Structure 1
């Protein structure tokens, strides 16, 4: 059973609307105007910033690497690797995934072209006050909170009727075509991963796709400008993803760090690989057998960085809760209560990024 993309495009303002975000300065423009200055709203307290004693760069090589060709053939050893990666790390990298190098590079070139446009051109695609599609910032919920050192372009790609085409850049001129091609390739990767995850969770291969009711796919492109004080700002605050799974294409420059056994581990880029992580929805479905892992992004002085995160999520009306067969002797009750995904995501978007605090509200009261 494949992911239904429904190619009919219906652009309606009230289709799949999420919570909005307060306006925030354009970070790329701040750097362009004065690369030697970082406004106070971005400067973090020392306790919020990475410390050498908190990082474990030597563990980077231990982050699991999954061969999707072997996984798609149902190879037992690769399925076991996938299961352990989700249980022990919540993150893994995928190689031999089938998305051509030329497609990956095309997506990078198109995104770079967009972010190189003048600010007034990019602002033509600015987010509305009540939603997250478009160009701008998410998770800005108060005038006092510390801001992340990033600008974002977020588009819902599939199903096509959920697109709001006014937010799709028309420059570079090939942008839409490249996003379509890239996202179609990533959708196939997601479909294979969801199928394999269904198997290792003891279900039929199409079970997780069916649980979604209708798979929604969104692309979030994050631009991290250079920063003259990289030890005092964060590109993205520590958080877990509100997705089922997230599939990320990294730049060739490291910046992503994941929390593993109390240590922050850099996810070093593997050429042409994709990074995948367990999201909150999969944690709920698996009754916390798989955990959505906190991650953050650090900045650097020398080179701007772009990342390309594809979120795979259910539609707003899908009800999510731990699957019955995940309640067993090891975990004898459901850790999370049933919740509609729309309620969950809107609740989460009204909070600043702060670890996994957004998930706590939905825990069963029996959880201490």
Structure 2
């Protein structure tokens, strides 16, 4: 049996998610309807101090990084230590590639529900259309519909979930993922140097680097103060790239004990450090809790691309990042597939690194 056939018949082996109603359809039928299963009670809101602090979210100029600018590399270092989040500009991805990717995402969610259901997640898989991390009938649900696809490596793609009815979809996503692969390697090279490795150090640790793409649609919500588009969590991979809508703020990050909104910048990407890099760096770089809020009047779309180590990659503190007794080893070492299996067997809440932390 070929790898492609095995993945199609058996799934990725990462877990599965229970089917749930389409939120987009709930709102289409009744804009005021918010079922109890989505309502979480009154949400903590950003304070005036948090709104002011949002102006300080670091912005990294990738053209400076690519030219070897040491000041910008030090700024990247401090952003990863102090924030775990930053935005990147001058990344070299053309406005046309970004525009076509946005159009492909919109094209999918503009389809009738009967068409979208042709790409619904299978019972044993998390490729396709639905919602991720639904493990029980009792848990609170996110106010979002999702199309989840693997774009790298080719052997993990399952093209039956790529919507051919949107004529430009495949070409747009292929071009977009190729460009982000280039940016990924540039960032990993700079982080490798900052972590006292050769330039290809982090790339080699990943093994066969994986791109997992989550295209999300967040409908407007009449009870936005009680509902989350995506619950508070950290990302389990190494780094994440997020393309936000330019005119709707939805992402909030936990910083200094506050929820801070990350305001969109035109054609910029939000980048965050994931749990794997936190563990490899022995806690030097931070994987930060974040969430997505909803909007009363406007829908919002986002495209998140997660960079993941290979299933068999080992995730544990690197020798050069451990310095007894000043920086003792903080985490145990695990196989990344075990991280994914654990993640997909529970709700998406909290930091996975807590489960890897060694006891004093």
TM-score (norm 2): 0.96
Change (3 A) 1:9 1:72: farther
Change (3 A) 1:330 1:129: farther
Q: Distance in 2 between matches of 1:24 and 1:56?
A: 34
Q: Distance in 2 between matches of 1:161 and 1:55?
A: 47
Change (3 A) 1:103 1:28: same
- 1:134 counterpart residue number: 128
- 1:37 counterpart residue number: 33
1:116-149, CA deviations, whole angstroms, 9 ceiling, x for partnerless residues?
1011100111111222111101111111111110
Q: Distance in 2 between matches of 1:172 and 1:239?
A: 31
* Counterparts of residues 139-150 of structure 1 (less than 5 Å): 139-150=133-144
- 1:359 counterpart residue number: 353
Is the 2:46–2:259 contact (alpha carbons within 8 Å) kept by the matching residues of 1?
no
* Counterparts of residues 308-323 of structure 1 (less than 5 Å): 308-323=303-318
Q: Distance in 1 between matches of 2:86 and 2:15?
A: 30
Q: Distance in 2 between matches of 1:365 and 1:9?
A: 40
- SS across alignment from 2:146: strand
- 2:224 counterpart residue number: 230
Q: Distance in 2 between matches of 1:312 and 1:94?
A: 16
Q: Distance in 2 between matches of 1:138 and 1:351?
A: 10
- 2:51 counterpart residue number: 57
Q: Distance in 1 between matches of 2:344 and 2:65?
A: 34
Aligned length, in residue pairs: 356
Report deviation, 1:365. Answer: 2.6
Change (3 A) 1:255 1:330: farther
- SS across alignment from 1:10: helix
- 2:215 counterpart residue number: 221
Is the 1:223–1:304 contact (alpha carbons within 8 Å) kept by the matching residues of 2?
yes
- SS across alignment from 2:356: coil
Segments ≥4 residues shifted beyond 3 Å: 8-12, 52-55, 329-332
* Counterparts of residues 1-368 of structure 1 (less than 5 Å): 10-12=4-6, 13=8, 14=10, 16-46=12-42, 49-53=43-47, 56-252=50-246, 253-329=248-324, 331-356=326-351, 358-366=352-360
Change (3 A) 1:330 1:235: farther
Is the 1:9–1:161 contact (alpha carbons within 8 Å) kept by the matching residues of 2?
yes
Q: Distance in 1 between matches of 2:212 and 2:39?
A: 30
Q: Distance in 2 between matches of 1:330 and 1:189?
A: 36
- SS across alignment from 1:56: helix
Q: Distance in 1 between matches of 2:306 and 2:46?
A: 31
1:206-260, CA deviations, whole angstroms, 9 ceiling, x for partnerless residues?
0000001110111111110011111110000000001100011111111000000
Is the 1:212–1:315 contact (alpha carbons within 8 Å) kept by the matching residues of 2?
yes
Q: Distance in 1 between matches of 2:325 and 2:56?
A: 27
1:139-174, CA deviations, whole angstroms, 9 ceiling, x for partnerless residues?
111111111100110100011011011111112111
Report deviation, 1:301. Answer: 1.4
Q: Distance in 1 between matches of 2:206 and 2:281?
A: 14
Report deviation, 1:330. Answer: 6.7
- SS across alignment from 1:265: strand
1:270-308, CA deviations, whole angstroms, 9 ceiling, x for partnerless residues?
111111000000001000101100000011111110011
Q: CA RMSD in A?
A: 1.5
Q: Please identify, of 82-91 and 171-180, the stretch whose mean Cα deviation from structure 2 is larger.
A: 171-180
Change (3 A) 1:330 1:104: farther
